[in-house]
Structure 1
Amino acid sequence: MYGFSKEIVERPGYWPSSAHICGFWFLPMAWQFSCDKCRELFSGDFNSPFEGILCANHAGLEDFLMGSSYSSLPIFIGLSSIGSMGFLRNPKSFLMVIKAVIESTDYRFILFSSGYQPLDSAIRSVASSAVESSVEAPALSNDSTLLFNNRLFCLSGSIPYSWLFPKCAAAIHHAGSGSTAAALFAGTPQVACPFLLDQFYWAERLHWLGVAPEPLKRQHLIPDIDDAASVNKAADVLLGAIRSALSPEIKAQATVIAQRLASEDGIGEALRILKEKVLP
């Protein structure tokens, strides 16, 4: 059994009849909150009102997503476990690229650090420098911080992508299968920056499907050095990819794909096959 959708990856004709494509597999949303209080508040109803889903400690994220003072949705950016795998060698350069994009646009970003300590340390360092220079960078809770004129929301905890992505204008990620599937289901345009293994396949597939521009190379998101020339060059490429992702064509295609996936129940189909084929 394969946990992806036939709408995204066609079934090869040479596969035996015993091979089944079930649809994407997702954990229950409540399991994906790192915060126990948020998990307790979550009703389990995907269509429930947005307000009040998060606990008081994370109300800042709700405001950042849906606050009346903002005219556009934020852009998600997260690399999951890429940092712990050794690919995020210079977290400061990563933050400086995001800062450069922010300074040349009106975009806002939500950054998930996935608890990667060097990145969290770089975030705290930037926040401390901002405070020392009298530039406000408030710490919202133990695991969240606002940077760069309050236009970058940094979170070291986890929130379900299937809950978050529909509230984002686009999702920038490493093209892992989970991030890819969640953004496809949400109908969210994507920018992929693969680092290893199947990520390159998914990144190319997203571009082929028309829901993402051409994949970024890693130096376009995380330059090896944080000098101004390297950061600005990477920011220019990233900005171009974001603008492509937000084009009417890609946004429309992302919606079409999400509509095709809406009726699928990957876990349910897998259970059905197990009951019929394995546990008669």
Structure 2
Amino acid sequence: MRALIMTFGTRGDIQPYAALAGALSRSGHDVTLAIPDEMSDLVPEAGSGRIDVAPAGSAMLRTVQELLPEMSGVRDASRSLRIMRDAMRQHLDETRRAAEATSPDIIVYHPKCLGGPHLAEMLGVPGVLSLPLPFYTPTGEFPAPLFGGASFGRRGNRATYAVGRASSVMYAGMIRDFRRQLGLAGDFGRFTNPLVNPDGTAVHVLYPYSRHVVPVPADYPPTAHVTGYWFLDAPDSHLSEDVQHFLDAGDAPVYVGFGSMGFGKGAEQRRDAVLEAFARTGLRGIVATGWGGIAPGDAPSDDVLMIEGAPHEVLFPRCSAVVHHGGAGSTAAGLRAGKPSLVVPFLGDQPFWGSRVHALGAGPSPVPPKRLARDFADRLAQLVGAPNYARRAIEVGDRIRTEDGLAEGVRVLERLAE
């Protein structure tokens, strides 16, 4: 089987799909990863099948990194959208070249890769939508993740999944032009439902998260596949010497990191709130500045270590608890490590994951970023001081580690490619 996998975003968006590429290769399949050049270091070692990289999305990634931190109003947002549109057109062309060069038997695409379903139609191969949160398949059991942990009743919950069509509507003109370039016929208005193929059949969706974190709804169709997490465990992942020395020098610390959240705005205030909380609680901590989530600075004492970042799969098991922004990858890493977690959600699906962690009993209720200065110290003490959080986190972690999400993902793709 020849598989083309296309995804875009920060490292957390790329890692699960790089892991899937590795699993497919170990099963003897050839894989092409269409990802930004800047993320090529995430590509795992190939097995008996090949893994190739097709550069796609570097312009979009630069746009996100350079423009979003500077946005300050509607005018800036409008200018950024125009520049992003140009980058997205380039991404469509790049993924088209990857598809034509690869001649895949199946295409797996993240919804940010707008060309995925249309390239699959052009080539006459299955196109499989994939993302690590339950965003597209309607269910009455909970609303779409963008609505956090609220509930609107079964009919209301199902209605919220119409939000999944937003990108198709927003970029309708661009996608219509792309379809014409591919020689595809038909009124684009028919193709705004991401769960329906042009021939009327249902789109299969791979959801790489754990059923022990979000139970599979009873009303999910057989085309929705909750596989379990896709973890990328690089064999050469290691902790830096300063992190290792800090861990060996005392009690297990609390990790705090918000990745790229906030786009740099308020980063100094978040840093000050975090450091003040460690001073008030007397806890040891590792604070990761990430890409703008927390401003760099000097640690106030030897009990706090400031770092840019470290591989979660290696660091989290050495911590007593973890605090993060609630990205799907960070949430998965914290729960798999069996560590109580506190989520500080900024946007998107992060409130949903924060509510799930709390509902599982693996951590306190989420803290909004604007309340860090007021509430963080108390919530941090609660996170590490309540034994039920630690006990429940261990139970959830044990269950997650029994799953083999990558193997299940490979099995699903093999069946669909047949």
- Provide TM-score, normalisation by structure 1: 0.71
Corresponding letter in the other structure for 1:250: Y
Q: Distance in 2 between matches of 1:183 and 1:118?
A: 19
Give the unaligned 5+ runs of structure 1.
31-38, 43-52, 128-146, 222-230
Aligned residue for 1:137?
Answer: none
Corresponding letter in the other structure for 2:318: K
Q: Which has the larger radius of gyration?
A: 2
Aligned residue for 2:338?
Answer: 187
Aligned residue for 1:204?
Answer: 355
Report 1:84-233 matches (<5 A).
84=263, 88-116=264-292, 119-120=295-296, 123=297, 127=298, 147-156=299-308, 158-221=309-372, 231=373
Aligned residue for 2:413?
Answer: 274
Corresponding letter in the other structure for 1:189: P
Contact 1:29 1:162 in 2 (8 A): no
Match of 2:226, SS state, is coil
TM superposition shift of 1:111: 1.3
1:167–1:149 Cα change, 3 Å: same
Aligned residue for 1:133?
Answer: none
RMSD: 1.8
Aligned residue for 2:246?
Answer: 64
Contact 1:111 1:154 in 2 (8 A): yes
Q: Distance in 2 between matches of 1:98 and 1:14?
A: 42
Matched, 1:28 2:233: yes
Aligned residue for 1:256?
Answer: 395
Larger relative contact order (Cα-Cα within 8 Å, sequence gap ≥ 6): 1
Matched, 1:245 2:383: yes
Q: Distance in 1 between matches of 2:339 and 2:330?
A: 11
Match of 1:29, SS state, is coil
Corresponding letter in the other structure for 1:209: L
User: Residue deviations 1:59-109, cap 9 Å, x none?
Assistant: 111011122xx2x2111001112033xxx4222222221222222222111
Aligned residue for 2:220?
Answer: 15
User: Residue deviations 1:15-53, cap 9 Å, x none?
Assistant: 1112111001122335xxxxxxxx4xx5xxxxxxxxxx4
Size of the aligned set, in residue pairs, is: 212
Contact 1:24 1:266 in 2 (8 A): yes
Identity value in percent:
29
Q: Distance in 2 between matches of 1:258 and 1:103?
A: 30
Q: Distance in 2 between matches of 1:160 and 1:114?
A: 12
TM superposition shift of 1:190: 0.5
Q: Distance in 2 between matches of 1:274 and 1:214?
A: 37
Contact 1:211 1:245 in 2 (8 A): no
Q: Distance in 1 between matches of 2:306 and 2:316?
A: 15
Q: Distance in 2 between matches of 1:201 and 1:238?
A: 19
Give the unaligned 5+ runs of structure 2.
1-205
Match of 1:219, SS state, is helix
Aligned residue for 1:136?
Answer: none
Aligned residue for 2:130?
Answer: none
Contact 2:280 2:377 in 1 (8 A): no
Contact 1:175 1:199 in 2 (8 A): yes
